[in-house]
A and B are shown apart, each in its own frame.
Chain A
């Protein structure tokens, strides 16, 4: 029978999840963080903190692991359930290994490649429409963290509820179709926001705006065509450094 986790334990796991990447490194990646987050749940194993079951489980869970940091909450929930249900260690290790790929790719697509850029674009659009410092920052943080904390909480809950069958939860329509909907919205709002941002920063003067818009369009097309070969921000450093030299020695 599955053990219900007390609120204190769930809260401790959730707080630790916010620091899951605290010891991120090129050897074990998220591994130590997984052990760190699971530790409050493992205390409930027979024998408590001093028991052999606790030490064996903590050792098992602190080995190499890779996933998106937010989606890792699903792994932590599922692994906590598997450990507390007394699943055989070999099965837990196999399950742990199998989780890495899906949790990484789902999270990267949904959060890093869709949600984060969309929230940035919304904040840029708000600035372009005249929002002040407080408004722009609040819009960005409120919107982003609604998704951020919502995803972490859902993933932890789904992981603990489904245990070793957590893959079923990953087939949720939000995770499957979310990136496509966010991409279309991001493309629309990105196109809408950029001219407004240009207009606000450049200020009055339609002629200058036109020239900058044209230059930005040409530059944007060039950078898009060179996708994967160059990074725009590095090129910008070179161009800006040359411009600064020109501006001071002219």
Chain B
């Protein structure tokens, strides 16, 4: 991957990373969008979408609720989408490795968000007196500083992850010794398990929801059979 390829991806990771919490939270940071955009930047939107769909299945399980700690899917999806889009071929193992890297980067990204929040807390504590005096400059400054820090976080995470994961993935692919069908089956099976459990956990408490889900599964299978 050249610098010309890296720069737009890093910028995409930064902007989408910002969307997770800071600005504007319109969910361009969701895997299904972020990975597709990364793939599109590299001329392979369909491959980006494929990995985006799988990561979206995992992301269904994690709710971005306020102070809770959750994975950061945006930069992770940009990295995973790029890995799949830049792989020499869409052969065995590529999808599996892209999803694995995406999950790991999402974990690290979640940790990096916590660090940004700690820095924000430190800055807010240092400027508490000025805020208590009603200083507009300080109130706006804290906001702009927090936004900038989050933007840098997304860029750094995307850059480091791409620099580490791209050569590592290519090296592992050279030794890959399992069929494409089995490789796909494992990763798709895992994603579907997590997504099914997530849908259940989210909605089962509502009266009748389990029957709605069961009806949906039957309808989905019927639709598949007649297509």
Contacts and interface: CB of A to CB of B under 8 A. Distances in A.
A128 B191 CA distance: 14
Contacts of A198: 188, 192
B61 A231 contact: yes
Nearest to B132: A59
B209 A141 contact: no
A116 B175 CA distance: 39
A56 B218 CA distance: 61
Interface string A187-217: 1111111111111011101001001110111
B203 A184 contact: yes
A233 B185 contact: no
A94 interface: no
B12 to A, nearest CB: 14
B197 A224 contact: yes
Given A22-B146, A215-B189, A199 B224 contact: yes
B25 A69 contact: yes
Interface in B93-127: 93, 96-97, 99-100, 103-104, 106-107, 117-118, 120-121, 123-125
A39 interface: yes
A212 B134 contact: no
Most B-side CB within 10 Å, residue of A49, A134, A224, A236: A236
B32 A140 contact: yes
Interface string A49-90: 100001111110011001011100000000000000000000
A246 to B, nearest CB: 7
A35 B139 CA distance: 7
Contact of A232 (B65, B67, B197): B197
A247 B57 contact: no
B196 to A, nearest CB: 3
B118 A25 contact: yes
Given A140-B33, A197-B53, A240-B100, A232 B61 contact: yes
A25 B212 CA distance: 39
B220 A193 contact: yes
A104 to B, nearest CB: 7
Interface residues of A, number: 108
Given A127-B49, A223-B197, A202 B188 contact: yes
Of A25, A224, A243, most B-chain CB atoms within 10 Å: A25
Interface stretch (A4-12, A26-34, A159-167): A26-34
A186 B212 CA distance: 9
A62 B175 contact: no
B117 A26 contact: yes
Contacts of A26: 67, 117-118, 121
A25 B197 contact: no
A185 B97 CA distance: 33
A117 interface: yes
Contacts of B133: 55, 59
B226 interface: no
Contacts of B193: 215-216, 218-220, 222-223, 232
B95 to A, nearest CB: 8
B90 to A, nearest CB: 11
Contacts of B132: 59
A62 B27 CA distance: 26
Interface of A: 18-19, 21-29, 32-33, 35-36, 39, 49, 54-59, 62-63, 66, 68-70, 104, 108, 112-114, 116-117, 119-121, 123-124, 127-128, 132-134, 136-137, 140-141, 144-145, 148-149, 179-180, 183-199, 201-203, 205, 208, 211-213, 215-224, 227, 231-234, 236-237, 239-241, 243-244, 246-250
13 contacts: A55-B133, A62-B131, A124-B195, A136-B36, A137-B36, A187-B206, A194-B217, A201-B54, A220-B192, A237-B107, A241-B100, A244-B93, A248-B177
